[in-house]
């Protein structure tokens, strides 16, 4: 049964957790949305997959952002309580640092389990699905991909379209086409065009209306000119082989069964985030300590340094592990150990046992 103090600390911390998580997701998803819009503008993506990609990006980011959100929510909650003398009141009632830790452990354990599930199962699945969508989009040649006012390449550059205006009805207005086949270059201009898909063969064509066609070999003065009322250009589709999954997209179970150093680094990267929940919980409580009249922003600045140092070291540790700078048995775990070594003296300094030891030493000194 949770006590009143436990419920109060957890309620305030979880409110901060959801608020910070929402802000971080909004920032990162906005960047992802803008990046996807750029891809749509150049014809690399279709509009109908943007929401799918954003949803998958959300699932991919949740496991990474939850440890950071929990870390800063504890800092904010305890920082406010120190400022309002609430922690002083708790200490006067005999509730020290380790009693505060116990309250946060109630949320830390299920949160670490959730993060483990997100990073070990959901994140690689989302990465795999994102890769499959982008792989399918590479060979997708549709007018929906085509942007007006710029050159659009298909068939590995052998077919280039320029459309002056693309109407909502998918009709193209004032079309220029360069088609390269067997060393011969054909240039086509047409007043209008539209897309047509053969129902039997599933071949995709762009049908051009009322235009001229110029065909010849570059450097050769012999070329032909012809007028047409209707002319169809076939858009060759790339052969889609099976998608080869990158190590970031491979299921976690397959990473356990290999001795590849890169796979081991990726496995430890996924395990680092649930462990980060534990490490940040231990570091956050002593970092949030401040005098009653002291602002909490100085402590938040130190917390930002700790956070970015941790994740920068986590990235460096993977590079060192793959390059053989650190042994495989050490892997990336030394980053967590380093953070725990930082938290241990800070937590012991603020504990009631340390305070009692200080009083005892002070009394011994006065008695002497």
Place of tokens 């922690």: 87
As given in the structure block, the two tokens for residue 162 are: 């320029």
Give pLDDT < 50 ranges for the chain. Answer: 141, 241-243, 352
Q: What is the pLDDT of residue 216?
A: 77
Q: What is the pLDDT of residue 195?
A: 81
Domain extent listing, the chain: 4-138+244-358, 145-235
How far is Cα 366 from Cα 368, in angstroms, rounded to an integer?
Answer: 5
Contacts of 8 (CB under 8 A, 6+ apart): none
As given in the structure block, the two tokens for residue 52 are: 């799918």
Contact 70, 111 (CB under 8 A): yes
* Cα end-to-end distance, the chain, whole Å: 47
Question: Does the CA dihedral 92-97-102-103 come out positive or negative?
Answer: positive
Q: What is the pLDDT of residue 141?
A: 47
Q: What is the pLDDT of residue 291?
A: 61
Q: What Rg value do the Cα atoms of the chain yield, rounded?
A: 31
Q: What is the pLDDT of residue 120?
A: 93
* Strands, sheet with 204-216, edge to edge from the N-terminal-most edge strand: 151-154, 159-166, 172-181, 184-197, 204-216, 223-235
pLDDT in tens, 125-152: 999 998 888 877 765 545 556 667 777 7
How far is Cα 163 from Cα 130, in angstroms, rounded to an integer?
Answer: 30
* 325-318-31 Cα angle (round to 5): 145
Q: What is the pLDDT of residue 21?
A: 94
Contacts of 24 (CB under 8 A, 6+ apart): 65, 68, 69
Helix (H) or strand (E) holding 239: none
- Beta strands per DSSP E along the chain: 151-154, 159-166, 172-181, 184-197, 204-216, 223-235
Closest Cα to residue 35, out of 57, 65, 20? 57
Provide the 8-state DSSP code for 121.
I
pLDDT in tens, 94-134: 676 677 778 888 889 999 999 999 999 999 999 999 888 88
How far is Cα 349 from Cα 175, in angstroms, rounded to an integer?
Answer: 75
């Amino acid at each position: 049964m949770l006590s009143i103090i436990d419920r109060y600390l957890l309620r305030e911390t979880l409110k901060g957790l959801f608020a910070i998580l929402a802000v971080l997701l909004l920032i990162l998803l906005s960047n992802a949305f803008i990046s996807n819009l750029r891809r749509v503008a150049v014809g690399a993506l279709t509009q109908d997959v943007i929401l799918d990609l954003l949803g998958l990006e959300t699932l991919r980011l949740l496991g990474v952002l939850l440890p950071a959100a929990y870390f800063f929510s504890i800092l904010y909650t305890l920082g406010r309580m120190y400022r309002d003398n609430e922690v002083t009141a708790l200490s006067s009632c005999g509730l020290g640092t380790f009693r505060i830790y116990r309250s946060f452990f109630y949320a830390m354990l299920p949160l670490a389990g959730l993060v483990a599930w997100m990073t070990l199962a959901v994140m690689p699945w989302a990465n795999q699905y994102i890769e499959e969508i982008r792989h399918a989009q590479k060979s997708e040649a549709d007018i929906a991909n085509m942007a007006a006012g710029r050159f659009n390449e298909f068939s590995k550059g052998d077919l280039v379209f320029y459309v002056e205006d693309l109407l909502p009805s998918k009709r193209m207005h004032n079309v220029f086409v360069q088609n390269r086949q067997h060393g011969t270059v054909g240039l086509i201009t047409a007043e209008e065009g539209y897309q047509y898909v053969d129902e039997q063969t599933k071949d995709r064509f762009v049908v051009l209306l009322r235009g001229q066609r110029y065909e010849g070999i570059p450097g050769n003065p012999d070329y032909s000119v012809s007028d047409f009322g209707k002319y169809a250009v076939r858009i060759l589709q790339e052969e889609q082989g099976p998608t080869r999954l990158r190590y970031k997209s491979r299921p976690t179970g397959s990473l356990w069964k290999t001795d590849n150093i890169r796979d081991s680094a990726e496995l430890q990267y996924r395990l680092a985030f649930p462990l980060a929940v534990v490490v940040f919980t231990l570091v956050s409580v002593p970092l949030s300590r401040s005098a009653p009249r002291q602002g909490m922003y100085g402590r938040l600045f130190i917390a930002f340094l700790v956070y970015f140092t941790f994740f920068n070291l986590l990235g460096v540790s993977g590079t060192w592990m793959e390059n053989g700078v650190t042994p495989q048995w050490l892997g990336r775990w030394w980053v967590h150990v380093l953070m725990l070594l930082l938290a241990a003296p800070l937590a012991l300094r603020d504990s009631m046992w340390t305070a009692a030891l200080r009083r005892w030493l002070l009394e011994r000194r006065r008695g002497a």
